[in-house]
Amino acid sequence: MSHNNNNNRHTIILMQASQNRGTRTFMDYDSVTHAMDGICALYERKLKELNPAIRNLSYDISDLYNFIDGLADMSALVYDSSIHAYLPHDRQWIKQKTFQHLKKLAH
C-alpha cells in the first residue's frame, strides 16, 4: 500500500513565518524524508543566524517543536498515488515526522 512508503511521495511544505502574508512560501521535496530534512535544515540555518559565533550547534526536539510552533503556519501536502491527489497534514503531523526522522538519524 502506498500509505506506508514515504520514500518517494512528493511532499510540499507550506509555511508562513509571521503574521505578514508576504512571508508565505513553500518548499517541495521528492519524499517525506527529504521534506523533514529540509525543515531541520531551515531550523539549523535560523540557529546559525541567531548564534553566529557558535561553531557546532546542537538542539533537541523541543527546540525544533518550538520553532515549528512559532511559525504563523506550517502544513504539508503529501502525494498519495492511490488516489492521485495530495493529502494535507497539519503541524502535529510534521512534528511527529521530524521526531521520527531525527530518531532515525541518531541511531
Q: Which three cell numbers stand for residue 84?
A: 492521485
pLDDT in tens, the chain (107 residues): 344 455 689 999 999 999 999 999 999 999 999 999 999 999 999 999 999 998 888 899 999 999 999 999 999 999 999 999 999 999 999 999 999 999 998 87
Would you call 58 helix, strand, or coil by DSSP? coil
Please report the pLDDT score of residue 8 as a whole number: 82
Give the fold, CATH level 3, of 11-100.
Answer: ERH-like fold (3.30.2260)
So where are the chain's domains? 11-100
Contact 78, 87 (CB under 8 A): yes
Q: Which three cell numbers stand for residue 93?
A: 503531523
